[in-house]
Structure 1
Amino acid sequence: MPADEPATPPGAEWGPDILGDGFEARRLSVPGGSGIATLIRHRPEGDPQAIPGTPQDRRWCALYVHGWNDYFFQRELARHVSAGGGAFYAIDLHHYGRSLQPDDMPGWCTALSDYAPDLHVALRAMSEDHPGCPIILIGHSTGGLLASLWATRNPGRVAGLWLTSPWLELQCGPGKRRLWHQAFHVASVLRQRLVLPLGTDQLYATSLRGWNTLDGPPPAKYIDAGYGMDPSLAGFDLIDKWKSAEGSPVRAGWIYAITSAHTQLSRSAPLDIPVLLHASTTTHAGASGEWTNDVLWSDAVLNADVLVAAGAMLANDIDIRRYRMRHDPLTSFPDVRQAVWADFHAWTARILPDAARGPSELGDTACYAICP
């Protein structure tokens, strides 16, 4: 994957994607004047790193929604969905990643509902490719908040929801969030794009650039197991304009949109679809933003306990799994990812018993495959 933004953006028809062989992208026009979104799909028959035994037929679909200061780059996720019998898609929302236009302010919105049209056009395109297939919506961080809110407003559209460290509540919890919500509203009215002196995701973004030898040698268990070049240790090849190592500024109108979504979600009835939620067991304690290498085993963006508490009330059928992991389990160390894949395949087989391949059908080699 290139470290620089590609010179030619995706076209209106499916074409090669920056992730390489087996990945394609196309531009989607978003109604309502929001511009464009980009849909990415996995074609395992063209992917030399596809998990062995991946079936040719697709009996279910998955759509991945990225977080803030983010875009889709996790090939391993696509390969596991495909191995499980699913058709994998991801969306780069408007104002993000592949969808960024020259005059865009990255990640800017004044309401998360602004992204509902992106999801609608993506799901319509998926249904054209795979009519009648059940769909699982996957959301990470802010994408998890968006996916959850969208699911409450569109009952029956998806068969399940998988959330990885979803931003379901402000880090301070619901009580203080109500006070901050009012403050953010005032700031937003006065100056929507005012940059507020709030924390960013800089520490987590830095952790994705690889193990820093100033923190000592990397864990021997990963080196001895042959994972020295795994991107969780060697670093992910990221396009800095799309996922900045400096983090993204928090603007008044944007954070007001986030706390508005928190408020709306907290007032919604529990979802009647199955939900799988992954979160870290620990939150990075560096309140002033200083680096320590426990960032590599902690959520350095959100308060994991707070988001889990909010998640417990999200649905009637919710399965919460916690590991000593980074903000995103899919960028965490290999043993964490293997546990997450086992959870995911077991869960999809439970909720889609006639469509998804579970751990026993996959076998250990495929179920626990590390293939970034």
Structure 2
Amino acid sequence: MTFFPTGTPAPRPAGTWSPDILGEGWEQRTLHLGSDDEGPVDVTLVRLTRGPRHDRAVLYVHGFVDYLFQAHVGDALATAGWDFYAVDLRRYGRSLRPGQTANIVDDLAVHAEDLDAALAVVRDDEQHARIALLGHSTGGLVASLWANARPGRIDALVLNSPWLELNDTALMRTVGTQGLRVLAKVAPRMVVGSLAPHYGRALHASTGGEWDYDLAWKPIEGFPVRARWIASVRRAHARVARGLDITCPVLVLTSDATGDHVHDHPDVLTTDSVLAVEHTAALAPGLGEDVVYEQVPGGAHDLALSPEPARSRYLERVVAWLDEVVPPRR
């Protein structure tokens, strides 16, 4: 598959809205995108229905080992005059079906179809003419490449700690990447790594954290990283490194410090202990012509899950910037 090909996909059948696991005021809708070698390909669109409707909408795109559970993000944006939607990508969270390999696809580019389908509902069925994407980590990488390949489709792009480069040694980012490409061809489903568990332990309520989410969909130990998937991610990283031409305004936010991504440490939730902040700072200017890069002091990898006051600073900055570039209609 050509990486994030341009063009408009054919209309896809979609289900109806039904109550969501987040409770009152939340609904979900399954978008059926056919099938592949592991069965049905479904994408789940979630929306917040409390309060008045607005003419502006935000679509949230989660990261790896993740799904939409950050209800407070939706509440903050709704209060600020945005309708809030989120997509659980194929094989993630609400969209994961029995027997499927969790969170892993053979080519990251297939998620362009997921965003196409979700945004078609937000724009056409929900009648939103002005839309912003908000992507976290791997979702930030996917959203960036999608926006680059679909100029004019969205009005703003917000990236929360986007995964733009591999957080590893220079040797692993060069020679190691070449090895991954070979493995992807000869042993595509070989497990080549996983996330360290210290970040997940710091987040979840069962291990002393602040957040209660489904450990079947977001396990503390993560899901195995397989050769073909990570090789596809590295192709995406190489595309970002060559420079993108995103035409809408872009806001990139990260923590102000990089933490140890392998071993536990006391500052796991006040640093980015998954990605290297310096990589994002270096690559952000190459995303487009109108890019703002800012750091949130004391922020975690997912800035929305940071301890206070970093969490509120992050949300306030997102809201203020979105109001600047996509102002409310008076």
| TM-score normalised over the length of structure 2 | 0.89
Q: Does 1:140 align with 2:163?
A: no
2:264 is aligned with 1:291: yes
- Whole-angstrom CA distance in 2 between matches of 1:97 and 1:161: 23
Of stretches 250-259 and 289-298 in structure 1, the one that deviates more from structure 2 is: 289-298
> What SS does the aligned partner of 1:334 have?
coil
CA RMSD of aligned residues (A): 2.1
Give the C-alpha shift of residue 268 in structure 1: 4.1
| Matched residue, 1:4 | none
Q: Distance in 2 between matches of 1:124 and 1:244?
A: 31
Taking the aligned partners of 2:44 and 2:263, their CA distance within structure 1 comes to: 35
User: What is the aligned partner in structure 2 of residue 72 from structure 1?
Assistant: 68
Report deviation, 1:180: 2.8
Which has the larger Rg?
1
Where does structure 2 lack aligned partners over 5 or more consecutive residues? 1-13
Give 1:316's aligned amino acid: E
Distance in 2 between residues matched to 1:211 and 1:105, nearest whole Å = 25
Match of 2:283, SS state, is helix
How far 1:132 sits from its partner (Å)? 4.8
Aligned to 2:247: 272
Moved more, 144-153 or 27-36: 27-36
Q: Does 1:162 align with 2:135?
A: no
8 A contact 1:145–1:167 mirrored in 2: yes
Aligned partner of 2:27 among 24, 46, 70 = 24
> Equivalent residue for 2:221?
246
Preserved CA contact (<8 Å) 1:209 1:234: yes
State the identity as a percent: 35
Q: 1:208 aligns with which of 176, 181, 203?
A: 203
State how far apart, in whole Å, the 1-side matches of 2:91 and 2:252 are.
Answer: 26
**Can you list the C-alpha shifts for 1:147-175, whole angstroms capped at 9, x where unaligned?**
00111111110111000010011224888
8 Å Cα contact 1:109-1:257 kept in structure 2: no
Could you say which residue in structure 2 is the equivalent of 1:219? none
Q: Which residue of 1 aligns with 2:313?
A: 339
How many residues are aligned here?
Answer: 313
Deviations for 1:66-113, whole angstroms, at most 9, x for unmatched residues? 000100000111111211211110000110000110011001112111
C-alpha spacing 1:238/1:24, structure 2 compared with 1 (3 Å):
same
SS at match of 2:119: helix
- Deviation string 1:216-254 (CA, Å, 9 cap, x unpaired) is xxxxxxxxxxxxxxxxx7521111110011122221111
Q: Deviations over 1:114-136 (max 9, x none)?
A: 11111111111111343252110
- CA–CA separation in structure 2 for the residues paired with 1:325 and 1:250: 25
> In the alignment, what sits opposite 1:8?
none
TM-score with structure 1 length normalisation? 0.79
* Alignment partner, residue 178 of structure 2: 182
Letter in 1 for 2:302: D
Distance change >3 Å, CA 19–CA 211, structure 1 → 2: closer
Aligned counterpart, 1:87: 83
- Measured in 2, the distance between the counterparts of 1:248 and 1:307 equals 24
The CA deviation at 1:269 is 3.5
Paired residues for 1:1-372 under 5 Å: 12-31=15-34, 33=36, 35-45=41-51, 56-172=52-168, 177-196=173-192, 198-210=193-205, 234-285=209-260, 289-323=262-296, 324-355=298-329
Partners of 2:267 and 2:290 lie apart in 1 by 32
Bigger RCO of structures 1 and 2 (CA < 8 A, at least 6 apart): 1
Secondary structure of 2:64's match?
coil
Give the Å deviation of 1:210: 4.2
Contact 1:139 1:166 in 2 (8 A): yes
CA distance in 2, matches of 1:314, 1:201: 29
Q: Per the alignment, in what secondary structure is the counterpart of residue 268 of structure 2?
A: helix
2 CA distance for matches of 1:95 and 1:117? 13
Q: Distance in 1 between matches of 2:108 and 2:209?
A: 34
